Chains A and B, each alone.
Chain A
Amino acid sequence: ETGVTQTPRHLVMGMTNKKSLKCEQHLGHNAMYWYKQSAKKPLELMFVYNFKEQTENNSVPSRFSPECPNSSHLFLHLHTLQPEDSALYLCASSQSLAIGSTDTQYFGPGTRLTVL
């Protein structure tokens, strides 16, 4: 778990607030991911970054804004969220996105977000 850290672990915010989630990986990986985990649903991939460049945005609403200043840090900026955005937000990293690569993803502990 210490390979990928996330802060804060819990966050309660109103619909008009602006907050940010932070992820840091200490594994020397080049790819980082944001996932949303809701009860009884598959993990939903939100964003993918490879070498600091965004390679995927899975039709995520613009009220979620990612930022990747370097390969070790990933942020998710939140503004004007809706109650249905309440979920566990997981960050993950992997060595690369190279085709044929079978390196796995390592997950952080997640941020439990509640939108009131």
Chain B
Amino acid sequence: QQQVKQSPQSLIVQKGGISIINCAYENTAFDYFPWYQQFPGKGPALLIAIRPDVSEKKEGRFTISFNKSAKQFSLHIMDSQPGDSATYFCAARGGNFNKFYFGSGTKLNVKP
């Protein structure tokens, strides 16, 4: 059973557009929600993270929107650039043993 569901699987956006990736979770014990960015040949790197006591967090062009009641959170990339082309993973941490659970990833392609 997948604890964190991520969509879409792939996304194509024009340069300057907004990229939106969505994640949903079931376990209300989760209390930390990071997003990771992974370029080919590299390991995932932390991009931005949020705790459920806030509804939004913004860092530069990257924003997490968090809806606790719906158990959903999303990543918005404003003014998307070709350099943002990568695979993005959402994750959730918490519950028994404070484990991390990852979404299946979204491959983003930003066209020039």
Name the prevailing secondary structure of the A interface residues.
loop
Interface code A27-68, partner B: CB below 8 Å = 1, 0 otherwise?
000000000000011110100100000011000000000000
Are the CB atoms of B98 and A98 closer together than 8 Å? Answer: yes
Please count how many residues in chain A sit with their CB below 8 Å of the partner chain's CB atoms.
26
Contact pick for A97, options B4, B97, B101, CB 8 Å: B97
B4 partner residues in chain A, CB cutoff 8 A: 42
Option from B34, B97, B99, B103 in Cβ contact (under 8 Å) with A104: B34
CB atoms of A41 and B104 under 8 A apart: yes
Query: Once the chains are docked, how many angstroms separate the CA of A55 from the CA of B31?
Result: 21
**0/1 per residue, A1-18, Cβ < 8 Å to B?**
100101000000000000
B100 interface residue per 8 A CB criterion: yes
- Asked whether A109 lies within 8 Å of B105 as measured between CB atoms, the reply is no
Classify chain B: how many residues form its interface, as a range. Answer: 20 to 34
Residue of B with least CB distance to A102? B32
**Chain A contacts of B46 at CB under 8 A?**
104-106
Q: Which residue of chain A has the shortest Cβ distance to B34 in the bound complex?
A: A104
Knowing A105-B100, A106-B46, say if A42 contacts B2 (CB, 8 Å): yes
Contact at A100–B104, with CB atoms within 8 Å? no
Interface contact A42-B103, CB-CB below 8 Å: yes
Q: Supply 12 further A-B pairs (C-beta < 8 A) apart from A40-B105, A90-B43.
A: A1-B42, A42-B2, A43-B89, A45-B100, A56-B97, A98-B98, A99-B98, A102-B31, A102-B49, A104-B34, A104-B49, A110-B43
Question: Which B residues are within 8 Å of any A CB, using their own CB?
Answer: 2, 4, 9, 31-32, 34, 36, 41-46, 49, 51, 89, 93, 97-105
26 contacts between A and B (CB under 8 A): A1-B42, A4-B43, A40-B9, A40-B104, A40-B105, A42-B102, A43-B44, A43-B89, A45-B100, A48-B99, A56-B97, A56-B99, A90-B43, A90-B44, A99-B98, A100-B98, A102-B32, A102-B51, A104-B32, A104-B34, A104-B46, A104-B49, A107-B43, A107-B44, A107-B45, A110-B42
